[in-house]
């Protein structure tokens, strides 16, 4: 049996014993310094985020900033909601071990993000079970959809209209979570103005709020500036969950600032993207603290961001990301990191959405690029393949084989046709 297999069922008590032993051993080597590398310089450790519930073994954490004396989690205000949320939030796309969620709360994490489609509905079930008895200490956000979708494990859509679909989606989420309400409900994957401008969808939220099932309203987007600007203008939304990283600072930074100034809570996702793109790159090796930690620190330096959510399915990854919040970047470190990101960003997908709608054959180029990131960068191979295979007929890269030349042009120099062909090869 491998060490990873043995660690899958690790409890919080087991983890704390191991962590204490590891920290004691490291303290002698640290010599009293507040922050130090956990190991000698080397390439950033690829994050095995699919290794759910794995143990935290401090001596193995190469290039990780480990605080000896912790200052504790810091909190920010989620826009006009006035909710206080931890600046590091927890995503639940692949989390399996409830003790990891318990440990996150022990570290001061109060913002938890989930959705009905994560783990085919099981992410909500597991989160609800883990938060039992501590629900009033946290902010829970889930998502609903603007198109009829198939309920996990069923063969019929929720309803015949978008509003009915939303209400049914919310009711089922609450059943899985075993909660009477969520703090934030978000339109999932809003990529066009119509979705955030729909009167019918606004009425559905208004009714859900009157019924006491939700407190606040938001939407998620993979960086659609037009969608965010429309939501800012109509004033209906309390929060936006958007991809944001050092790679997308120039394009998304200004609209994120506008959202914050308009009173929307800004929740950042995909914050690790530059680290995922360059995890094997020499440019990240000199850093004190690995590239994943620097990516988190970079986003949190932006005071327009209320919280940054990261998937932290194991104790090891959780501790690594928490450590990133315990120190900031100096001006020199900021410049070094941004210079490194500029190197790895050349020819990398920025998730900017510029390729959306470019393919005359209807191939979902932007979605496929994102799924490839899940596969190559995150290590979420099964999820990436499931999403790809769930694309509508004709929307996958299978259609590329009949095309003489790719019409999709990337402003960042991504070889679109080549990436699409690779995506189909590994995901189909």
Q: What is the pTM of this model?
A: 0.80
pLDDT value at 18 more than 60: no
Position 13 scores a pLDDT of: 57
398 and 304 share a domain?
no
Residue 143 within any structural domain of the chain: yes
pLDDT value at 8 more than 60: no
382 and 256 share a domain?
no
Nearest to 384, CA basis, from 16, 13, 51, 93: 93
In degrees, rounded to 5, the angle at the alpha carbon of residue 152 between the alpha carbons of residues 146 and 155 is 90
173 and 318 share a domain?
yes
Residue 149 within any structural domain of the chain: yes
**Residue-wise pLDDT tens digits, 70-80:** 579 999 999 99
Give the structural domain span for 387. Answer: 365-427
339 and 382 share a domain?
no
309 and 387 share a domain?
no
**pLDDT (mean) for 346-359:** 83
Specify the 3-state DSSP secondary structure of 139: strand
What are residue 413's phi and psi, to 5 degrees? 80, 20
**pLDDT (mean) for 352-373:** 86
Position 147 scores a pLDDT of: 55
207 and 156 share a domain?
yes
Position 157 scores a pLDDT of: 40
340 and 370 share a domain?
no
CATH of the domain at 297: 3.20.20.100
Nearest to 397, CA basis, from 418, 374, 375: 418
Nearest to 290, CA basis, from 79, 39, 4, 92: 39
303 contacts 365 by C-beta, under 8 angstroms: no
As for how many domains the chain has, the answer is 2
The residue length of the chain stands at 428
326 and 397 share a domain?
no
Mean pLDDT of the chain: 81
Residue 6 within any structural domain of the chain: no
Cα(380)–Cα(173) distance, integer angstroms: 23
289 and 399 share a domain?
no
231 and 339 share a domain?
yes
| Ranges 14-18, 115-119, 285-289, 391-395: which has the least confidence | 14-18
Measured from the Cβ of residue 64, the count of other Cβ atoms closer than 10 Å reads: 24
Cα(93)–Cα(187) distance, integer angstroms: 17
pLDDT value at 188 more than 50: yes
**Residue-wise pLDDT tens digits, 279-327:** 667 788 777 678 899 999 999 999 999 999 999 999 999 999 999 999 8
Q: Token digits for 391?
A: 């694309």
Position 17 scores a pLDDT of: 53
Q: Token digits for 321?
A: 């990301």
Measured between its terminal Cα atoms, the distance across the chain in Å is: 31
Q: Which residues, 6+ apart, have CB-to-CB distance to 289 below 8 Å?
A: 35, 37, 63, 64, 65, 297, 323, 324, 327
Per-residue buried b or exposed e for 85-105, using 16+ beta carbons within 10 Å of the residue's own CB: bbbbbbbbbbbbbbbbbbbbb
Measured from the Cβ of residue 357, the count of other Cβ atoms closer than 10 Å reads: 14
**Residue-wise pLDDT tens digits, 96-116:** 999 999 999 999 999 999 999
């Amino acid at each position: 049996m491998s060490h990873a297999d043995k660690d899958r069922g690790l409890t919080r008590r087991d983890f704390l014993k191991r962590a204490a032993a590891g920290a004691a051993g490291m303290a002698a080597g640290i010599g009293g310094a507040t922050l130090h590398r956990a190991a000698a310089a080397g390439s950033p450790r690829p994050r095995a985020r699919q290794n759910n519930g794995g143990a935290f073994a401090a001596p193995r954490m190469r290039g990780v900033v480990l605080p000896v004396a912790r200052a504790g989690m810091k909190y920010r205000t989620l826009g006009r909601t006035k909710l206080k949320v931890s600046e590091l939030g927890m995503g639940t796309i692949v989390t399996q071990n409830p003790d990891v969620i318990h440990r996150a709360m022990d570290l001061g994490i109060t913002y938890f993000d989930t959705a009905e489609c994560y783990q085919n509905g099981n992410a909500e079930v597991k989160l609800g079970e883990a938060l039992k008895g501590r629900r009033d200490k946290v902010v829970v956000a889930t998502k609903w959809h603007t198109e009829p979708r198939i309920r996990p494990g069923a063969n019929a859509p929720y309803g015949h209209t978008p509003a009915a679909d939303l209400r049914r989606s919310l009711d089922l989420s609450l059943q899985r979570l075993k909660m009477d309400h969520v703090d934030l409900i978000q339109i999932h994957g809003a990529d066009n103005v119509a979705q955030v401008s729909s009167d019918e969808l606004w009425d559905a939220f208004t009714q859900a709020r009157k019924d006491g099932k939700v407190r606040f309203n938001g939407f998620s987007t993979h960086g659609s500036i037009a969608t965010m600007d429309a939501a800012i203008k109509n004033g209906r939304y309390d929060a936006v969950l958007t991809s944001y990283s050092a790679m997308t600072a120039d394009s998304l930074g200004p609209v994120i600032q506008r959202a914050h100034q308009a009173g929307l809570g800004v929740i950042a996702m995909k914050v690790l993207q530059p680290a995922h793109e360059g995890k094997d790159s020499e440019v990240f090796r000199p850093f004190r603290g690995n590239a994943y930690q620097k990516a988190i620190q970079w986003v949190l330096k932006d005071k327009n961001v209320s919280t940054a959510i990261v998937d932290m399915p194991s104790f090891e990854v959780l501790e690594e990301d928490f450590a990133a919040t315990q120190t900031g970047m100096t001006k020199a470190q900021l410049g070094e990191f941004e210079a490194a990101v500029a190197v790895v960003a050349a020819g990398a997908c920025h998730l900017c959405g510029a390729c959306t709608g470019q393919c005359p054959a209807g191939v979902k180029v932007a979605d496929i690029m994102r799924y490839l990131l899940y596969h190559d960068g995150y290590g979420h191979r099964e999820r990436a393949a499931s999403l790809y295979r769930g694309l509508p007929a004709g929307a996958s890269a299978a259609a590329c084989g009949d095309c003489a030349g790719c019409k999709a042009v990337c402003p960042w120099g991504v070889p679109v046709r080549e990436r699409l062909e690779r995506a189909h090869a590994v995901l189909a």
